[in-house]
Structure 1
Amino acid sequence: MSALYFSKQFIVDVFIFILVFIPLALLHALGKPAANGFWCHDKSLGYPYRPDTVSMPMLMVLTFGAPFLVMAVIETIRAAYRARLFRQFRAEIQSLGKAYGVFLFGMAASCIFTESLKYSVGRLRPNFLDICRPDFDKLNCTTDTSSDRFITEYKCTNTQMDERIIQDSQLSFPSGHASMSMFSALFTVFYLQMRLEVKFSLFLRPTLQMALILMAVFCCVTRVTDYKHFISDVIAGCVIGICLAWTMFYKIAYDVIPSQSSQKSPGLPRATSIESEPQTPTPLLRPERLIISHSYRNNSGPDGLLHK
């Protein structure tokens, strides 16, 4: 019965997962960014075009591959301790599948949020003018900065750039690299906190968590130094990634993934918290004044003087 329920749940979840990706695929295939203009002498859009420090294939490997590797290693180690000699992986495989399934669903949600905002806002990237290269002579943009004009109708003349790159130059807000990397890093950090129990080192787990955060921060910083995004774009992407990572983990994954202390195993005994330790009953102590008074009465004689 449980196997049948699990198979039905798996089929339904896969179907929902596919439905979630359909709008994202349609948006990439048919979507057009909102048309936005620019000022003739807007220096914030005149930065040179640079290749990505963190390319899209590299981002995919880091954001999808690193969490899976971390989860797989942790569940393998737990299975080795629990089942001895790597037997009976069923519980750990289910935990891995559930955790990574929630991760993929959250990543899809992050992409949908980010891409929807990108196409709705249509903010121009800092390197837009170098990629588009509109014909300023036909736009009546003079060299006199005192008579600046806002251009709403223009045509890109850069034939060296692919049409897809030109369209992408109008999708600055928010940063997709920032939202994906931050979601991936924080979700994995939460997973490490929940499933990894290290008794031989105090700093191993926080070091791994800090390394994941630093990789995400590095990815975010490169989006500004590569002139792909404004700082506000990166901040918005980070906020999306952080909020979705917390929501997906603590509202979905937390209920379906057993914590490190919920399964007691021979090799990894559950750590006992201070709150759960048995407390020694503390006897009721009388106030010091009463104790002194009682001692005085016991040691005093009929004459009221103290006798030793």
Structure 2
Amino acid sequence: MPPKQLSRKQQRKLYTSLAGELVIMAGTVMLAYYFEYTDTFSVHVQGFFCYDTAYTKPYLGPEESSAVPPILLYAVVAGLPTLLITITETVLFLVQYTSKEFDRSEKTVATGDCCYLNPLVRRTFRFLGVYTFGLFTVDIFVNAGQVVTGNLAPYFLTICKPNYTALGCQQALRYISHQEACTGNQDDIMRARKTFPSKEAALSVYAALYLAMYVTCTVQAKGTRLAKPVLSLGLVCMAFLTGLNRVAEYRNHWSDVIAGFIIGSAIATFLVVCVVHNFKGKLLLSDDSPMEPQPTIGMLNMGRMESPLEKYIASQVSASFTIRHLTCSK
């Protein structure tokens, strides 16, 4: 079957939509970059009470020494969904390609006068593109929350090293609000002011829920009734353990981790339900729906059976007409 050609109006609409999506994606990436690697947005300086035990936990070293270092987290969050979605879409495409229905299906989808896009590539790029957009969106939400709140890490006073004598901390309830109170390393202090919400918790639960919903909604093969929930629960458990590790290492408060879980879950649910529609888009090889039989002239001219109610109404009308006719003749 030859590929389906799009009209000029459809091509123009497609190109406009694609250009708009690229602009939105580029803007999202740039905003995430400014939040992450520049000082464009200054962090709110939150004060503290002298000798506050909520911020005197031990400092276990930089993020690279954590049980879940950033390089491992980012590699899993970026690599695992890409690998899993690509393999799953390829297997589904090959299964449908070798089925008997392939002969009456479209092999390609036309996107212009000269460009044709394989349905496998189209679906894979769609799901991975939405996933990537969600990753940057989670990063923006988390960085915005950290910049606005400036919430302090549990180990803040350990690296802040304030001079309690010079600050006049004879009483524990004295509130210190100026930034010059800390004498420790300024880079470590700045990182300790950006903990709410937890970025690691948000990214991990976003990736886990997106993949769990993808596997649940897409894989419909026999024998996966138990494998799908096991895989989904395993992914969610990994995300939960990531947040738990942040609290155990005194790098985040429980409130930071819970807020990160809420942000990641909300964005993943919104994208799956409202953007990719539970991954229920067009089939890999979209079958041409059979033409509905059009009523022929003979069928239109066929007599219609009257119901008992219609027969009763017709008899009453006929009887009334007969009585009126006899009355007028007299």
Instruction: Provide the TM-score with structure 2 as the length reference.
Output: 0.71
Show the counterpart of 2:309. none
1:220 correspondence with 2:243 = yes
Show the counterpart of 1:11. 19
How far 1:22 moved relative to its partner?
A: 2.1
Show the counterpart of 1:26. 34
Show the counterpart of 2:98. 84
The CA distance in 2 between the partners of 1:223 and 1:259, in whole Å, is 41
Equivalent of 1:243, from 257, 266, 271?
Answer: 266
Show the counterpart of 1:38. 48
Question: Is 2:212–2:232's contact at 8 Å kept on the other side of the alignment?
Answer: yes
3-state DSSP of counterpart to 1:200 = coil
Question: Is 1:95–1:257's contact at 8 Å kept on the other side of the alignment?
Answer: no
The CA distance in 1 between the partners of 2:30 and 2:203, in whole Å, is 18
Aligned residues: 257
Higher Rg of the two aligned structures? 2
How far 1:10 moved relative to its partner?
A: 3.3
Show the counterpart of 2:188. 165
Equivalent of 1:155, from 176, 181, 189?
Answer: 181
How far 1:124 moved relative to its partner?
A: 0.5
Question: Is 1:133–1:157's contact at 8 Å kept on the other side of the alignment?
Answer: yes
Which is further off, 35-44 or 250-259?
Answer: 250-259
- For structure 1, the residue ranges without an aligned partner over 5 or more in a row are 265-308
The CA distance in 2 between the partners of 1:184 and 1:22, in whole Å, is 21
Equivalent of 1:122, from 143, 146, 150?
Answer: 150
- For structure 2, the residue ranges without an aligned partner over 5 or more in a row are 1-5, 100-106, 109-116, 288-330
How far 1:238 moved relative to its partner?
A: 0.6
Alignment-mate amino acid for residue 46 of structure 1: T
3-state DSSP of counterpart to 2:276 = helix
Q: CA RMSD in A?
A: 2.5
The CA distance in 2 between the partners of 1:9 and 1:76, in whole Å, is 26
Mapping for residues 106-121 of structure 1, pairs under 5 Å: 106-121=134-149
Instruction: Provide the TM-score with structure 1 as the length reference.
Output: 0.76
Show the counterpart of 2:169. 141
Question: Is 2:35–2:140's contact at 8 Å kept on the other side of the alignment?
Answer: no
Question: Is 1:198–1:205's contact at 8 Å kept on the other side of the alignment?
Answer: no
The CA distance in 2 between the partners of 1:261 and 1:14, in whole Å, is 24
Alignment-mate amino acid for residue 258 of structure 2: I
How far 1:116 moved relative to its partner?
A: 0.6
The CA distance in 2 between the partners of 1:129 and 1:202, in whole Å, is 51
What's the % identity of the aligned pairs?
A: 24
1:197 correspondence with 2:220 = yes
Equivalent of 1:74, from 88, 100, 114?
Answer: 88
